[in-house]
Amino acid sequence: MMKIKSAVSSAVLFSALLGLSACSDDADKQQTNEAQQTEAQVTVADAEKFVADAEKRLSEISEYGARIAWVNANFVTHDTTQLNAKVGEEYTKLGVELANGAKQFNDLELPYDLNRKLEMIKLGLTLPAPSDADKTKKLAEITSKLDSIYATGKSPDGRNLGQLSEVLRTSRDPQEQLEAWLGWRTVSPEMRPLYQEMVEIANEGSKELGYKDTGAMWRSKYDMPADDFANEMDRLWGQVEPLYEALHCHVRAELNEEYGDEVVALDKPIPAHLLGNMWAQQWGNIYDLVAPEGATKGVDLDPILRKHYGVDHEVVTYNEKEKAVKKMVKTAENFFSSLGFAPLPDTFWERSLFVKPRDRDVQCHASAWDIDNQEDIRIKMCTEINAEDFQTVHHELGHNYYQRAYKDQPILYKGSANDGFHEAIGDTVALSITPAYLKQIGLIEEEPDADADIALLMRSAMDKVAFLPFGLMVDKWRWQVFNGEVSAADYNKGWWNLRTEYQGIAPAVERSEVDFDPGAKYHIPGNTPYSRYFLAHILQFQFFRDMCEMAGNEGPLHRCSFYGNKEVGAKLNAMLEMGSSRPWQDALEAMTGQREMDATAVLEYYAPLKTWLDEQNKDRNCGW
Ligand code: X8Z
Ligand code: ZN
């Protein structure tokens, strides 16, 4: 997760002025009346002053809050969790004050930047609290606690998420996989009452700010009406759904061959524990089970990486691993350097966390941080040397290069065009990790020829295409939770309904409302909105197609690499530098000439695979 910026500022004055109180219909009305009264008196100069104050306070809390959050995530203890809650509380308080304060300028004709910055302030928080000190405190305590439950979670037999994930990645024994899958899901039931209370408080806060509920607030962050955004998500999904269904059909058939009808039925959703990943969100780890037979082999990166980075022996020490991981990060840095980006600062290497420490709990979910809004950028990853983390290292550096590119923007514009852009940059670069590129940097000796295309595309689709419905359903669930369509009594049922409807997967053993399976996915207790990853999985192909065209690529899209192309780098940098100063449509147009997100590049990229899958599936009953 990218370290989220706070949008907050000077508002003691404004909240007093607005007479805010705990949320009720009456309070809302009072607020509107007073706001209108105030509106008559406020001037553009007042708005300027308000925003300037906001930016100052925001900068201060952002740096200090980031340092506390960093320490907490790197040393998850009772005390750091409390400190994190404390600063979270301060931050939310400020955010709510500011968002309410910003409303007084609603009817004022304002210059573009002032207006945009006020909008940023209104939309700045992810989970707003109502203007009630006790509830704000409670919300911060809950979110900090949820985060720490996830970070410190272990299965009943003492295995952590990394160990359990390794079983899913490498084991081909369904029983062993099911145990690991179930083991991790013992961590989350404890979260359920906390989550429920959190939803209630955040919804109260969102209503106070003028949104129907917290989901509606999240959907309002895309430079278009909230309802239009939900339709956009569905439209994009509609573009890629046939490709996903073709992949699903083939994968299910191959798993049926491997495990038999008893484990994988041909007319049912795929059991969720068999796809090589704890959440069945990316399936690349079981590529070996679905690899096209008879076709020329692609590139099996896992052993290549282990050999290249010097950890292909039996017992790997901590120091060896850290050294190997740093080298792998260097490889990713080198790619960005080849595009013309300045090297990462020394402090990146000194202050990042690269490997899971042996003696303490850390929040292992990979993240990129911008501590001081200038040069102090870092990653935090419990990195392993494998293909999955090779990809993630590029993903995280994409965040860091974005952060550094917009460092000279005012604090309210230090963000991406929309949050999908932030998630897409590193992935776009990583699409250039083609065999030709791997040969260029000495990871492989020979490039497989065109006969290997289906294998290469299949390996990629197992991650990128498989991800799409997961990327979509996570926030569909949260939208339904926030708007009450899914009540607390049905949290798990609602989750599995969507998992089955969109992904065509199902739990192998019955689940109940004693469980809280959504909580076993980082972004739920972590309260990181998830639509951004769905968008990123569309946008990265859209960016990539354009960058490849610029690089003069003439072959098929999936064989394109823009490694070393400074012209492409300059164009990318121009978009990154804009931060969130313009609506995302402008940034997309600057980059691709299009103002709409569009999945045709995904379809183009995988077109040969789709033809092949349709041929394989022609006598199969697809769907679930
Ligand atoms: O959370 C992440 C990144 C950090 S922003 C590692 N991702 C999503 C996930 O792991 O669920 C990247 C892909 C999707
Ligand atoms: Zn990310």
Q: Tens digits of per-residue pLDDT, 448-488?
A: 999 999 999 999 999 999 999 999 999 999 999 999 999 99
Q: Say if ligand 1 is within 6 A of residue 382 CB.
A: no
Nearest by Cα to 191 from 516, 529, 528: 516
Residue 6 has pLDDT above 70, yes or no: no
Which atom of ligand 1 lies closest to the CA of 467?
14
As to burial, measured by CB atoms within 10 angstroms (0-12 exposed, 13-18 middle, 19+ buried), residue 252 is buried
- Whether the per-residue pLDDT at 22 is higher than 90: the answer is no
Give the pLDDT score at 221: 98
Mean of the pLDDT values across residues 184-189?
A: 98
Task: Give the mean model confidence (pLDDT) for residues 12-38.
Answer: 34
pLDDT of residue 40: 61
Name the H helices within 75-132: 78-102, 112-123
Q: Which atom of ligand 1 is nearest to the CA of 2?
A: 5
Question: What's the CA-to-centroid distance between 342 and ligand 2, angstroms?
Answer: 21
Closest ligand 1 atom to Cα of 365 = 6
Do residues 130 and 189 make contact, with C-beta atoms less than 8 angstroms apart?
A: no
DSSP assigned state of 525: T
Residue ranges in 210-315 assigned as alpha helix (H) = 214-219, 226-259, 287-290, 301-308
Q: Quickly state the pLDDT bin for 294 (edges 50, 70, 90).
A: confident
β-bridge pairing 505-506 and 270-271: parallel
Torsion of CA 318, 321, 325, 327, to 10 degrees: 120
- How far apart CA 565 and CA 544 sit, in angstroms, is 13
Q: Per-residue pLDDT tens for 145-169?
A: 999 999 999 999 999 999 999 999 9
> Residues 549, 553, 554, 555: what is their CA dihedral angle, to the nearest 10 degrees?
-120
> Phi and psi dihedrals of 594, rounded to 5?
-105, 150
CA distance 81 to 525: 14
Active-site residue, selected from the candidate residues 394, 523, 537, 558: 523
pLDDT tens digits, one per residue of 217-249: 999 999 999 999 999 999 999 999 999 999 999
Angle at 236 between CA 540 and CA 298, to 5 degrees: 45
Q: Is 308 annotated as catalytic?
A: no
- What is the average per-residue pLDDT within 28-32? 39
**pLDDT tens-digit readout, 408-434:** 999 999 999 999 999 999 999 999 999
- For residue 135 the two structure tokens come to 């509830």
- Is the beta carbon of 540 within 6 A of some atom in ligand 1? no
| 372 secondary structure, DSSP code | S
Phi, psi of 367 (to 5 degrees): -155, 160
Is residue 530 lining ligand 1, measured as CB closer than 6 Å? no
pLDDT > 70: percent of the chain: 94
Amino acid identity for residue 21 in this structure: S
- The alpha carbon of 2 and the centre of ligand 2 are apart by a number of angstroms equal to 6
Cα 524 to middle of ligand 1, angstroms: 12
For the chain, the domains span 14-155, 229-616
Query: Catalytic: which of 89, 90, 254, 396?
Result: 396
Q: Is the CB of 366 inside a 6 Å radius of any atom of ligand 1?
A: yes
User: CA 426 to CA 403: how far, in whole Å?
Assistant: 12
